[in-house]
Each structure stands twice: as structure tokens, then as C-alpha cells.
């Protein structure tokens, strides 16, 4: 039985900050941001977009009456959830009108949990081949104004439908997970922004990649020559390359191919920034949308990493006519129509917060044109609204 990604769609809010403007404001050489870590813009969420609304906007184009009746499980992967108890997936179930006899759960393990969701979905579909699972990885990366990690913030979501006979990617049953306890990145319950040990986190990421890659080679006799491309979890666009180059020959056709396609896979990250659980799959979407040299039947490697830490290496095979089922034009339009924030607007937006005293407030933002928005807070409850695509 073939199981994998049937559809994949990306969403990022309609605001962004040019990192050259951030560099100027922070009195940093712009090359440190645009060349050193490889980031150009940072996606910013207005107060009307949170983890749930971004997830819903990512999934909205994928859902129709037929597959809404076929989806048995909704898995929301996030580390920026909106509630300690209520799963954000329950909102998605309602907003997307999924059939009622379904599971709706939220999963967490730093940036890895999107992959956890996919593997859970794979197992479910293998036992229920006529059913589908919606997996959405949605996050807002926050480190704080003026911090070292500020430049690697971002916001966005990636939605995927996992099914039998997928139309985009067949997952090979070859995943190699790896867990080790550390403190390279974490956010205690009382903290609004994440804590990170940057240099240690980079090394932990590379070590985890090498261990999972070596074990994958040992178990499955994998070779670099057999991989058309490798997609990485991307907290920033240069991170995956640091890991990849540790296993490449200095000069070969394979090295050139993998590095060329790596650059295709990071283009959306350069424009959006870090979206935690969705970062690996944002890179995959970027590769599919922008690399026309890929062919059906070719194998893609995936490296997933979540601080604290869990990692996984696995592969998948591109399906015949997969290009017919991509959302390339939607993604291009979304990125091209975003509103650029000034530094003052960015800092004001970053510091804006929802009421915590149970008061009622209506929410809006003049630049948010998304179909689904957080429209109000009332008695500690989040109220979401589905708007017309053109007029609000």
C-alpha cells in the first residue's frame, strides 16, 4: 500500500519585515542577516492571526465536502498553542467542517512535532486505507525585540492531507527517529518568548543529523547518489547546509546537485523565517514549487529536528504528475501581496497582546485579508470568523 502526502499548502500572514531595515535599526551589518544566516524577510502575524487561524488558512484550500467526510483525524502540530487544555485542532474541526466522528488532537515536541503528526497519520491510514488524516504544522517563532534570536523569528503554517495513493509524495517506510535530552532551546510555561543556547543548538542539530543519517545508511543502505534532494528543518536558511556539507564530498555531481536543490528548498524560508513545526515542510513546498528539474519517481530525503531533542531521517518518492497537485501560484501570490512593516509598526505589532482578564474585545487589522481570522475575545474564549476572500 502506498501512503503519503496527497496535498500540501502553505500559509503565512500578510505582514513582513525587511531584515535590512531590522539590521539598520539594530545597528548590524545587513550582510550578517542576508548572507550570514541567509534570511531576507520575516513573516509577522497581526493580532488577528494566531496558531489556530494560520493553521485553518493553510488547510482551507485543501478541504472540500468530499474529503471533509473522509478525514478521521486532525493533528495540529505546534509549540505556540493557544490553550493548555483545549486542542487547537478542535477549532480546525469546526472551521473546516470536518465530519463529526473524528479525532482532533494537538501534539508538541518543539519543531519536530509536524513529523510526529505525519508518522501518526501514516500508521492510521495503514490500518484504515479508505480514510484520511489532516496534519497541520503551525507556529509563531518569538525570541523578543533586540535579542540575538530576533532575526530568526517568523510565522506561518503548512497543511498536509495524508492518504492512500497520494498524489504528491509516497512515504517510504524507512524512518529513523532519534531522541536525546538536552537544553538547546526551550520555553517554560511562564515565558512568552523562547530561550535558546544558539551555538550549542546548532551543534546538537548537526550531531542529530549525522546520527540519523548514519543509522539510515546502516539500516537501509541509503546513498547520497540515490537522493534527488534533501530537505531540512530550517530555523534559518543556512542551518541545513551546515549539516548537509558534513557528509558531502568536496566536489562531485552528487554534491553539486544536492547543494543546488538545497538552495531551491530554502527560498520560502528566506522570505518567511522560522515557523518551527512547519519549517521542514515549508522547505519541501519551496523545493517542489521552484525546482522544475525534479522528476516523478525521484527520492527526497527529509531531516526533521526538534530541540530538547528529537530528530528523524526518512525518505519519500515523488508521484507521477505531482506538479498538477501543487499550489505554486497560490504561494507566489501570497508572498508577493504582503504588506511591508516599518520598524515602528513591527515593534508595535510584536508587543500587541490579547486581554487576559476575560474582557470582551473585537479584533481587526487593516492589512489582514485572510479568509479565517481571530475576530474577538470574549470571556477568555477565542472567536474565529470565516470571511469572504475579497470583501470583509
Whether residue 143 is annotated as binding a ligand: the answer is: yes
Q: Is 233 a catalytic residue?
A: yes
Whether residue 368 is annotated as binding a ligand: the answer is: no
Whether residue 11 is annotated as binding a ligand: the answer is: no
Rounded Cα distance, 239 and 283, in Å: 12
The catalytically annotated residue of 9, 79, 93, 312 is 79
The catalytically annotated residue of 111, 216, 317, 331 is 111
The catalytically annotated residue of 233, 312, 317, 331 is 233
Rounded Cα distance, 200 and 203, in Å: 5
Q: Is 79 a catalytic residue?
A: yes
Q: Is 352 a catalytic residue?
A: no
Whether residue 86 is annotated as binding a ligand: the answer is: no
| Residues known to be catalytic | 79, 111, 233
Binding residues for (3S)-3-hydroxy-3-methylglutaryl-CoA: 29, 143, 242, 274
List, as residue ranges, the binding site.
Answer: 29, 143, 242, 274
Amino acid at each position: 500500500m502506498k501512503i503519503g502526502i496527497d496535498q500540501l499548502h502553505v500559509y503565512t500572514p500578510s505582514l513582513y519585515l525587511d531584515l535590512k531595515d531590522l539590521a539598520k535599526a539594530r545597528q548590524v551589518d545587513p550582510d550578517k542577516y542576508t548572507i550570514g544566516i541567509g534570511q531576507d524577510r520575516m513573516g509577522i502575524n497581526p493580532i488577528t492571526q494566531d496558531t489556530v487561524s494560520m493553521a485553518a488558512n493553510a488547510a482551507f484550500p485543501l478541504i472540500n465536502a468530499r474529503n471533509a467526510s473522509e478525514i478521521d483525524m486532525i493533528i495540529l502540530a505546534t509549540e505556540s498553542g493557544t490553550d493548555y487544555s483545549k486542542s487547537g485542532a478542535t477549532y480546525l474541526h469546526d472551521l473546516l467542517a470536518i465530519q463529526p466522528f473524528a479525532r482532533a488532537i494537538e501534539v508538541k515536541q518543539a519543531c519536530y512535532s509536524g513529523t510526529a503528526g505525519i508518522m501518526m497519520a501514516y500508521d492510521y491510514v495503514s490500518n484504515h486505507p479508505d480514510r484520511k488524516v489532516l496534519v497541520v504544522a503551525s507556529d509563531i517563532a518569538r525570541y523578543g525585540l533586540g535579542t540575538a534570536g530576533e532575526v530568526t523569528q517568523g510565522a506561518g503554517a503548512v497543511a498536509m492531507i495524508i492518504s492512500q495513493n497520494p498524489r504528491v509524495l509516497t512515504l517510504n517506510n524507512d524512518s529513523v527517529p532519534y531522541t536525546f535530552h538536552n537544553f538547546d532551546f526551550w520555553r517554560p510555561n511562564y515565558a512568552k518568548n523562547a530561550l535558546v543556547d544558539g551555538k550549542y543548538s546548532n551543534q546538537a542539530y548537526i550531531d542529530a543529523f549525522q546520527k540519523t543519517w548514519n543509522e539510515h545508511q546502516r539500516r537501509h543502505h541509503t546513498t547520497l547518489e540515490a537522493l534527488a534532494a534533501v530537505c531540512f528543518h530550517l530555523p534559518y536558511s543556512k542551518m541545513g547546509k551546515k549539516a548537509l556539507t558534513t557528509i558531502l564530498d568536496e566536489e562531485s555531481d552528487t554534491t553539486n546537485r544536492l547543494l543546488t536543490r538545497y538552495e531551491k528548498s530554502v527560498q520560502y524560508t528566506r522570505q518567511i523565517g522560522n515557523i518551527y513545526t512547519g519549517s521542514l515542510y515549508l522547505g519541501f513546498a519551496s523545493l517542489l514549487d521552484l525546482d522544475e528539474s525534479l522528476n516523478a519517481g525521484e527520492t527526497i530525503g527529509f531531516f526533521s529536528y526538534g530541540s530538547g531533542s528529537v530528530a528523524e531521517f526518512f525518505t519519500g518518492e515523488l508521484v507521477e504528475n505531482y506538479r498538477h497537485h501543487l499550489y505554486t501560484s497560490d504561494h507566489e501570490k501570497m508572498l508577493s501581496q504582503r504588506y511591508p512593516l516599518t520598524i515602528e509598526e513591527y515593534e508595535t505589532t510584536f508587543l500587541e497582546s490579547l486581554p487576559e482578564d476575560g474582557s470582551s474585545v473585537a479584533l481587526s487589522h487593516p492589512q489582514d485579508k485572510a479568509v479565517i481570522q481571530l475576530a474577538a475575545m470574549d470571556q477568555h474564549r477565542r472567536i474565529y470568523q470565516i470571511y469572504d476572500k475579497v470583501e470583509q
